[in-house]
Amino acid sequence: MKQVELLAPARDIDAGIAAVNCGADAVYIGARQFGARENAGNSVQDIERLAHYAHKYWARVYVTLNTLLYDHELPEAVALITQLYEAGIDGLIIQDMGLLECDLPPLPLIASTQMHNNTPQKVAFLEQVGIQRVILARELSLDQIREIRRQTSVIELECFVHGALCVCYSGQCYLSYAIGGRSGNRGQCAQPCRKKYTLKDRDGQILSHNRYLLSLKDMHRADYLRELLDAGITSFKIEGRLKDEAYVKNIVSYYRQRLDAVLAGGDWRKSSSGTSRINFTPDPVKTFNRGYTNYFLTGRRDEAVASIDTPKSIGEKIGQVLTVNKRYFMLDTPAILHNGDGICFFDTSRELQGTQINSVQAERIFPASMEGISRGMVIYRNYDHAFITQLSNSRIERKIGVRLIFCETPYGFFVSAIDEDSNQVGHELACEKAPARNKEQAMNSLRKQLTKFGATEFECTNLEIKLSEPYFLPVAQLNALRREVLEKLTTLRAQQRPRIQGSILKNSVPYPERALSYLGNVLNQQAEALYLRHGVTRIEPAAESGLDLHGKKVMTSKYCLRQQLGLCAQNSTIAANFTEPLSLVDEHGQKYLLRFDCETCVMEIFFAPARL
């Protein structure tokens, strides 16, 4: 059967193990440096430990080395990649094409979404030079994904299905670098998209004042897993390498359940082994979210994809305030708040405020502070104390099913173990066969001891006993027999674990473009050499080379402010009320000019001054 992968984030080894336990088929984690999340690095030793744990379930571990590299960093990056290969990782997520010119170990290479993999031509090129998988641009629609699959052959397609969204095309954002020298392509993004801006027209008219105009909601595509699978996606990725363990447990468990329902009875199967069992009900609104959007997957609709009132988590809507007292308030719905919950609300200035619940008495809710709470206000819960406590104390286990066959031989007994991946081992116990005096007790002891798998990754799903009559076997012998056969099965699974080797193809297939501006992100001589060999004739150095970005485009987005604010050019009445070009002004007075390509529904942001 064809395989499909649920891919989870790991901030550290504990989050990675939690993801595997909750059913992830693979996890991705940052190494000590050169990752697109500078503050989410891990030692090679921890990554090796995580890989060892994941491999028991045939789950995979990918490492993110997805930043642009300076020439002097390439030798260190190659040395790190070699160490990671020796540590047993299963793939490397990269952004810098210069690495394809280096002498790398045979790791499968995965093209980071930072490469902006958005066209069939780009993905086909990556396939031809030996890239094993591409992580597609987040803003692609189902139709665009289908077309990429139609024009490629064996390259694997991965896409994000959940988590935070960058407002800009990934790998094409230079706003943070332009403002303060902190490059997103170097893992140092200062997140200016989560700051306040004022939108003005050419004449200075304010169209929106001091709002979070570039802050998007979070992605949620659980309702489209079937459609994505049919479009050619084989890896479903959850964002969140800076998120805590509670987020990982909740979201991975949720998508495991949703994906399993899609796979049931079909031609696809998950790519790893074992079944996860949890003792909580996963719910995406219970952990960090800014509200949810499918982000143009089904085309551009009227939905607002941004959260312009706050970049913070708002959580779940609880109800409206019905009654206000000096010390408490009451809601229009039955109170479901509890002691220790965190709540938030938008005040009269549309600023997000919050407080903690001290106690709940019947329908009366007593917060730590009543400041700002008024009648008619909508209350959200952004911290569910009981749910988070349940996650922290949750009993999660992942077990690989094993069938046992116990039979007698002329010289004793033999046990066979067959796991859910059809791996089979056996072990013989040579001993005297003494008929049992208490036949029922002997059979009960046999079943109990052979199926007592304890804290191993295995569980017995069936025990078949083939004996001419019940025999007496000491408990110690049965325990030793069970341990021997499970150790053999563990060894065999390690030998049989599917492995994929990568192979960079040094050729001269033409790159889809003949000229690369700074948007091509060429920061080192190896990347330049690669593009030249593939037919590119003009190459401008990357922004991070020290390029002056004044007047240049620093962001391109599928998100459109005019559509978000109801100012779309297709509405001629509204459009007549302001004069172009529009501009954003941040809290420090820095101006950014906007250009709207209405034919392709794309918004571009330029670092002022610029001539449009």
Instruction: With respect to residue 606, please indicate whether it lies within any of the assigned structural domains.
Output: no
* Domain membership flag for residue 553: no
Question: Do 123 and 81 share a structural domain?
Answer: yes
Give the CATH number for residue 252: 3.20.20.380
Q: Are residues 229 and 332 in the same domain?
A: no
Q: Answer yes or no: are the C-beta atoms of 113 and 488 closer than 8 Å.
A: no
Q: Provide the domain limits for residue 244.
A: 2-165+217-278
Do 112 and 17 share a structural domain?
yes
- Which letter does DSSP use for residue 152 in this model? -
pLDDT tens, position by position, 81-115 = 999 999 999 999 999 999 999 999 999 999 999 99
pLDDT at position 145 is: 98
Q: Is the peptide bond before 106 cis (omega within 30 degrees of 0)?
A: no
Helix (H, G, I), strand (E, B) or coil at 334: coil
Q: What is the mean pLDDT of the chain?
A: 95
Which of 376, 392, 408 is a domain's end point? 392
Shared domain for 406 and 469, answered yes or no, is yes
Asked if residue 600 belongs to a domain, the reply is no
Task: Count the domains in the chain.
Answer: 3
Pair (362, 425) in one structural domain: no
- Tens of pLDDT, residue by residue over 571-597, are 655 556 889 999 999 999 999 999 999
Distance separating alpha carbons of residues 168 and 185, to the nearest angstrom = 12
Tell me which residue of 580, 586, 578 sits closest to 598, measured CA to CA. 580
Alpha-helix runs per DSSP H in 423-524 = 439-450, 475-496
Does residue 551 belong to any structural domain of this protein? no
Query: Do 338 and 462 lie in a common domain?
Result: no
Kindly state whether residue 559 falls inside one of the protein's structural domains: no
Residue 248 contacts residue 256 (beta carbons within 8 Å): no
Contact status, residue 92 vs residue 109, Cβ threshold 8 Å: yes
Same domain assignment for residues 145 and 238: yes
Report if residue 110 sits inside a domain: yes
pTM of the model: 0.96
Q: Give the angle subtended at the CA of 371 by the CAs of 369 and 375, to the nearest 5°.
A: 110
pLDDT 10s digits, 219-242: 999 999 999 999 999 999 999 999
Judgement on whether residues 360 and 272 belong to the same structural domain of the protein: no
Is the pLDDT at 522 greater than 90, yes or no?
yes
Q: Does residue 228 lie in a domain region?
A: yes
Q: Do 82 and 231 belong to one domain?
A: yes
Considering the domain architecture, whether residues 85 and 233 belong to the same structural domain is answered as: yes
Which of 341, 374, 392 terminates a domain? The answer is: 392
Residue listed under structure tokens 């790991």: 10
In a domain, residue 310? The reply is yes
**What is the rounded average pLDDT of the residues 146-153?**
97
- Here the CATH number for the domain that contains residue 305 is 2.40.10
